Amino acid sequence: MGIEPLVITFLILLGMAFGSFFNVVIYRLPLNKSLVPSSKCPTCNYAIPFWLNVPIFSWLFLKGKCRNCGAKISWHYVIVELITPIIWLLVYLRFGDNPILLFKYLVFFSYGIIIIFIDLYHMRIPFKLSIPLNILGLITLFIPDNDVTLYRGLAGGAGSFMFFLIMMLAYYYIRGREGLGFGDVLLISAIGFFVGILNLVFIVGFASLLGLIIMALFMKYSKQKLFPFGPFLVISAWVYLLWGYRLFEMYLHYMFMI
């Protein structure tokens, strides 16, 4: 679908504002801190005034440093504020013709941004994110004009939860160490509720392949080293929902033709 300049401007500004809020969640949620107080410097606890809390521009103006103590402000703050409006625009281009699906996937993709950075920094996915995402995914199955049927959604969510939970416990029993975290199991089930069982199979497979490639190319991996799987699940779901669904549909069509 086409996209008007006014819509672009609105989504960019709104996405930047929400990206700033996502940064608050990414920093405070794993530390069990309240999300309500105004933004503060993590180093000196300096309350940042609103004129120095403009997404992206404030970080550039302050050269990535706190105005009060000069401590460096992590690059991930500006990255989140940059990618959020970009992702929202992509979601609008893909699902903008259907307001229900647009809202559904704006929520899903937004949760994904937060999960990626928390899992990268803390090697875990908080239950305060994964459980509400499962509940939201389940609710969408009962909304008219949803793109996933109730049967496929339940199979993708509840079915994948049971399957990967058994896999997680079996691996721990056999190997004596964690292979797949419970947070990853909950994330997989949440994705299953949102996209359905058939699409979930593609997403988990692609995430596993992507993870293996990244580990082989860029990481010094050891058997004792923890590895965040959540970002690969989220990115794979994004890729599939925005572009990969066409390839998967072609593959299914080809298989049924055979």
CA-nearest of 168, 159, 248, 164 to 203 is 248
More confident residue, 107 or 2: 107
Exposure string of 64-81, with b = 16+ CB inside 10 Å and e = fewer, is eebeeeeeebbeebbbbb
Low-confidence winner among 69-73, 134-138, 230-234 (lowest mean pLDDT): 69-73
Q: Identify residue 227 by its one-letter amino acid code.
A: F
> Mutual orientation of helices 230-239 and 182-195 as an angle, nearest 10°?
10
Would you state the pLDDT for residue 6? Answer: 85
Would you state the pLDDT for residue 89? Answer: 94
On the question of pLDDT at 197 being above 60, the answer is yes
On the question of pLDDT at 1 being above 60, the answer is no
On the question of pLDDT at 2 being above 60, the answer is no
Average pLDDT for the chain? 87
Average pLDDT score over residue span 42-66: 77
Any residues with CB less than 8 A from the CB of 165 and at least 6 apart, and which? 182, 185
Q: In the 8-state DSSP scheme, what is residue 227? A: -
Write out pLDDT tens, residues 214-231.
877 766 655 556 678 999
Q: Does the global pTM surpass 0.85?
A: yes
Tokens of residue 212, six digits: 């293996």
Confidence of residue 176 (pLDDT cuts 50, 70, 90): confident
Number of alpha carbons in the 13 Å side-chain half-sphere of residue 49 = 5
Owner of token pair 């082989």? 216
Share of the chain above pLDDT 90, in %: 57
CA-nearest of 73, 105, 75, 111 to 92 is 105
On the question of pLDDT at 161 being above 90, the answer is yes
More confident residue, 69 or 50: 69
Low-confidence winner among 79-93, 130-144, 146-160, 244-258 (lowest mean pLDDT): 244-258
Write out pLDDT tens, residues 78-116.
999 999 999 999 999 999 899 999 999 999 999 999 999
Per-domain boundaries in the chain: 1-97, 127-258
